[in-house]
Amino acid sequence: MKPIAKIAFWAAILGPIQSVLGWVICGALTPGYNPVMQTISELASPEAPTHLLQSGFFLLGGTLTIIGGVWARTLAMPGRISLLLSGLCTYGLTFFPTPIIGYSTMHRVFAISSFVLSAGWVLGAMRSRKDAPAIIRPVAAIAQTVFQTVIAVIFLQVWADQNATDVGAWERVVATAQSLQAAVVIAVIYLGQRNESSR
């Protein structure tokens, strides 16, 4: 197995940090914005005062995910491709922003695709060989995927409910859990490999 490259490690670490910073900063700069009721995408709406700033955070997050897909070389190829596609979907949802009133079909397609890929990438990254890192071996990979799938499905059900008042909160739970998962998996493998090579 090829090792995780340092650039993938740093991209994974920065991913959840920039994600949270993005919606916290943009939410604070948007008068009347309610992070419990409103989605992160509304901060990148063309009508929002933070349109360019939140769009920039989205593009940065997509780029970091793509870097992880390309350079996290210990992961099995289907998982790396899933990360790459998830990053590209983040570009897509940025280029097709949702309006504050109404919705963008293309934005929803890219957003749902990104959530699905981010929920299941580690299953594609799974390796069953005995020298594979424990965090991507079958039991751990399946457990992670079940957890991510459950919270993603809950969020998508809430998002589809016109009367839901907590869609923003659920979106943040899922977005943070997905970015943290990538950070933890890649960091654990990278640091383990570095310790092995220093012996």
Q: What is the mean pLDDT of residues 38-50?
A: 96
Q: Return the domain boundaries, the chain.
A: 6-197
Tokens, residue 98: 């949702």
pLDDT at 83: 98
pLDDT at 197: 82
pLDDT at 101: 85
Q: Which long-range contacts (CB under 8 A, 24 or more apart) does 153-157 make?
A: 155/115, 156/112, 156/115
- Digit-coded pLDDT (tens) for 67-94: 999 999 999 999 999 999 999 999 999 9
Identify any residues that bridge with 72 across adjacent strands, giving them in sequence order.
4
Best CA proximity match to 193, nearest among 133, 139, 137: 133
What Å distances lie between residue 95 and 27, 40, 83, 102, CA to CA? Answer: 20, 15, 19, 17
Identify any residues that bridge with 4 across adjacent strands, giving them in sequence order.
72
Q: What is the mean pLDDT of residues 28-46?
A: 96
- Tell me the whole-structure pTM to 2 decimals: 0.95
pLDDT at 103: 87
What rounded mean pLDDT belongs to the chain? 96
- Digit-coded pLDDT (tens) for 166-199: 999 999 999 999 999 999 999 999 999 999 887 6
Query: Coil, strand or helix: which one is 96?
Result: coil
Tokens, residue 77: 């190829």
